[in-house]
Each structure stands twice: as structure tokens, then as C-alpha cells.
Amino acid sequence: MSKKITPDPPITGKIRSTADKDLYLRKLSDTSSNEAEPVPTDTPRLLDTLAFTCSKPVTPEAPYKPTLFAIQPGINAQDALTYVSNLLETAELNGDEISLHTNPVERALFWGMLHSVEVARAVVDALLEDARPSNQPSPGNGQPAN
């Protein structure tokens, strides 16, 4: 878990007393809820509206040569994002091991990169969270998410 390095910004507006502050915080907690707003049943899910993957070479050696690895066409967004989440989890786990064997300067740079991987995985997993039926495991727990 990472530590928060910046303080919360000051509360804007004119809150003069503790009672005003309590009232403000109560209003804030009443209006900002972590629960998702209900989605109308006729509204398609965002993952369902995304296009399928197209064929794309992975690190082509030269544009005129065929590549050994390529993204396959016709993969839906949910399956593609699940695979990306698994790749990012692997990068996190490998990064944790590699960071133990680097010098302090390289370690600081590496931790910055590793944090980017963790944040990217959190975004992908958050996108997948609403798309997964409740009986399916979340990606990254060692079980397939198909």
C-alpha cells in the first residue's frame, strides 16, 4: 500500500466554526456516495459498445516481414482487458522481485515505473468490475476470468 504524500487541500468556502464544519462534512457525505448510480436497463454497457480487436503485429521487426506474434482480430473488450490485467499483474510480481536486486538509485526509478503498472492494472480492473457477473472471480487472483 502506498502512502499519501500530499495533504488534503483546504476546504474552500467560509467555514468558521466546528458546527459549520460538521454540517459541511455531513452534507458532503450525504451527496457523495460510493455507490454507482443505477443504469437504465435499456442502456448498453460501455464494454459492449467497444469494437472488437483488429489484427495488429506485436513489435514488428520490419514492416515488410511477417511477425511471429500478433493481436488476433475479433476479441471483445472484456476478454482483452482481462488479459491485460493478467499481464499487468505478472509485471507487478516480477517487478517486486527485480526491485530487490537493484541499487538505490535504480530502485527509486524502478518503483516509479512499478507504481505506473499498479495504477494501470487498477484502472483496468475497475473497468472490468461492473462487466463481470457476480459469480466470476476477479482477474489477478490466480483463477481464469472467463
Structure pTM?
0.55
pLDDT, residue 90, reads 94
Strand partners, 57: 70
pLDDT, residue 63, reads 72
Q: List, for residues 100-124, the tens digit of each pLDDT value.
A: 788 888 888 888 899 999 999 999 9
Sign of CA dihedral 10, 12, 17, 19: negative
Provide the residue ranges of all domains of the chain, joining segments of one domain with +.
41-129
Residue 86 has pLDDT above 90, yes or no: yes
Q: List, for residues 20-34, the tens digit of each pLDDT value.
A: 767 766 766 665 555
